[in-house]
């Protein structure tokens, strides 16, 4: 009885980790696709403003703010906190 409860807990935890990882990788893919698409187009006034303020010229794929900044191995949105690790 006890061990089966423990096993269920373990399975639950594994599933939670799996879902979390899957969500993160989906977000990463969205980030990459959005950034790639935006790089192929000329700069919009919003993008120019973003660059002038020290941000990346890409909009955040999650909240659409032009507040992405690049760190050593990541890009992070200062508005919603989303991060893409490169
Ligand atoms: Zn954002």
Domain boundary assignment for the chain: 3-85
Give 22 Cα–ligand 1 centroid separation in angstroms.
19
Q: How far is the CA of 49 from the centre of ligand 1 (A)?
A: 16
Give residue 62's pLDDT.
92
Read off the pLDDT band of 15 (50, 70, 90).
confident
Q: Which residues surround ligand 1, an ion (CB under 5 A)?
A: 60, 62-63, 77, 79-80, 82
Residue 2, pLDDT above cutoff 70: no
**Alpha-carbon Rg for the chain in angstroms:** 18
pTM reported for the whole predicted model: 0.53
Question: 50 or 27: which carries more pLDDT confidence?
Answer: 50
Distance from Cα 13 to the centre of ligand 1, integer Å: 28
Closest CA to 81 of 26, 27, 22: 27
Whether the CB-CB separation of 31 and 75 falls below 8 Å is answered with yes
Cα of 12 from ligand 1 centre, angstroms: 30
Q: Taking residues 9-29, what's their average pLDDT?
A: 85
Complete DSSP assignment for 46-72: HHHHHHHTT--SSPPTTT--S-EEE-S
pLDDT, position 18: 86
Q: What is the pLDDT of residues 30-80, one digit of tens each?
A: 778 777 766 677 788 898 899 889 999 889 989 999 999 999 899 999 999
Of the pLDDT bands very low, low, confident and very high (cuts 50, 70, 90), residue 1 is low
């Amino acid at each position: 009885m006890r061990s089966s409860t423990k096993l269920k807990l373990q399975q639950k935890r594994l599933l939670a980790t799996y879902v979390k990882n899957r969500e993160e990788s989906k977000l990463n893919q969205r980030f990459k696709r959005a950034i790639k698409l935006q790089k192929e187009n000329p700069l919009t006034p919003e993008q120019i403003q973003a660059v002038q303020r020290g941000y990346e010229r890409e909009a955040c794929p999650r909240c659409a703010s032009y507040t992405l900044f690049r760190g050593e191995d990541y890009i992070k949105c200062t508005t919603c906190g989303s991060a893409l690790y490169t």
